[in-house]
Amino acid sequence: MSDKTERLKTMIIGSGPAGYTAAIYAARADLKPVVYTGLEPGGQLTTTTEVDNFPGYPNGIDGPSMMVELQQQAERFGTDVRIGRATAVELSDEVGGIHKVTIDEDRVVEAETIIISTGATAKYLNIPSEQRLRGGGVSACAVCDGFFYKGQDVAIVGAGDTAAEEASYLANICNKVTMLVRKDYMRASKAMQHRVDSLKNLEIRYNSEVDEVLGDQVVEGLRIVNNQTGEKEEIAITGLFIAIGHKPNTDIFKGQLDMDETGYIITDAKSTKTNRPGVFASGDAQDKIYRQAVTAAGTGCMAALDAERYLATIEAAPEEVV
């Protein structure tokens, strides 16, 4: 094998809906994209059984099958999908500059443009019964999975704005929502607190934590513990939603890309441009608000179009790129 460093036109880091959609557009535009899959080929949707809200699947589809189809669609246009994880980056700050990405701590690959689609990881409580019942009634996405519990009793864990937002969403479709708040107050904004307080079928339990999720194959109930008194109580529920935050998978870009305090990559206005020319960010790695497969796919499309325009402009007149 030659020891010459490989140089790509477009490298896509991540193989979720954002990465594969970027790949479809980039491949069709002849950018010869290479996708590095990371440790979770197919991304977060490979951890869920039913995806009911992605357009084009009238009967729904299971997450892993949907991601295989997206990969096949990207490959149909010539995308090169490689197993590998980006472990370090050296991003140029010059227009037309070459970016360097280390793969698997082993070899460096150069790229004229990079599309970051590394997603985010939902935080869980990490107690054994919760982990065992993930996909069996435990979910970290109320907007994705709440519908399956329509008319039923559910619980949600969390105290921030997202938790309050998801609790109100659930209250609209479920029979009863019990919201567990670890402290004796909520972190959510006053406006969001008023919103949850006004919901008649939502009960907030302060100083309350999950002791155990009950059920063998599916969630049947919850044992709650009051962290002040130690008192335990069981409630009957069929769904448990964990809304304690997400961690964007962006650590390797720290210090080089602008990010918010949580690590979400900041993109420029209505584009996917980052603060480094030729580096674009899409999907959950840059979106803390919507976090859906279809929005990730949408920004993946945008990133490929942004990369294409960037390359076209530097080839024409490098000094005019902004």
Minimum distance of ligand FAD from residue 123's CB (angstroms): 11
Nearer to ligand FAD, 56 or 230 (CB): 56
Q: Stretches 16-24, 167-175, 188-196, 234-242: which one binds ligand FAD (CB under 6 A)?
A: 16-24
Between the alpha carbon of residue 121 and those of residues 45, 87, 234, the distances in Å are: 11, 17, 29
Minimum distance of ligand FAD from residue 39's CB (angstroms): 5
Q: Is residue 68 part of the contact set for ligand FAD (CB under 6 A)?
A: no
Minimum distance of ligand FAD from residue 313's CB (angstroms): 26
Instruction: Write out the binding residues for ligand FAD, residues 293-322 only, by CB under 6 A.
Output: 293-294, 296
Binder among 8, 40, 204, 272 for ligand FAD (CB under 6 A):
40
> Residue 161: how many CB atoms within 10 A of its CB?
16
Minimum distance of ligand FAD from residue 37's CB (angstroms): 5
Instruction: Write out the binding residues for ligand FAD, residues 185-224 only, by CB under 6 A.
Output: none
Would you give the end-to-end CA distance of the chain in angstroms? 38
Residues annotated as catalytic (active site), given as ranges: 141, 144-145
Site string for ligand FAD, 86-105 (x = CB under 6 A): x-------------------
Residue 183, phi then psi, degrees to nearest 5: -95, -175
Instruction: Write out the binding residues for ligand FAD, residues 239-278 only, by CB under 6 A.
Output: 249, 252
Binder among 8, 11, 16, 192 for ligand FAD (CB under 6 A):
16
Instruction: Write out the binding residues for ligand FAD, residues 142-171 only, by CB under 6 A.
Output: 144
Minimum distance of ligand FAD from residue 281's CB (angstroms): 10
Nearer to ligand FAD, 118 or 267 (CB): 118
Between the alpha carbon of residue 172 and those of residues 79, 150, 164, the distances in Å are: 42, 9, 13
DSSP letter for each residue of 199-245:
-TTEEEETTEEEEEEE-SSS--EEEEEETTT--EEEEE-SEEEE-S-
Mark 180-209 as b/e (b = at least 16 C-beta within 10 Å): bbeeeebebeeebbebbeebeebebebbbe
Q: Is 275 exposed, middle or buried (0-12, 13-18, 19+ CB in 10 A)?
A: middle
Nearer to ligand FAD, 215 or 283 (CB): 283
Q: Stretches 90-98, 138-146, 182-190, 220-228: which one binds ligand FAD (CB under 6 A)?
A: 138-146
d(CA 284, CA 292): 8
Q: Is residue 36 part of the contact set for ligand FAD (CB under 6 A)?
A: yes
The HSE-up count of residue 217 (CA atoms within 13 Å, CB side) is 0
Total residues at interface with ligand FAD (CB under 6 A)? 42
Q: Is residue 173 part of the contact set for ligand FAD (CB under 6 A)?
A: no
Binder among 27, 29, 45, 171 for ligand FAD (CB under 6 A):
45
Q: What is the DSSP letter of 264?
A: P
d(CA 48, CA 194): 32
d(CA 2, CA 155): 57
Residue 114, phi then psi, degrees to nearest 5: -130, 135
Minimum distance of ligand FAD from residue 162's CB (angstroms): 13
Per CB under 6 A, residues contacting ligand FAD are 13-19, 36-41, 43-45, 47-48, 51, 53-54, 85-86, 117-120, 122, 139-141, 144, 249, 252, 283-285, 291-294, 296
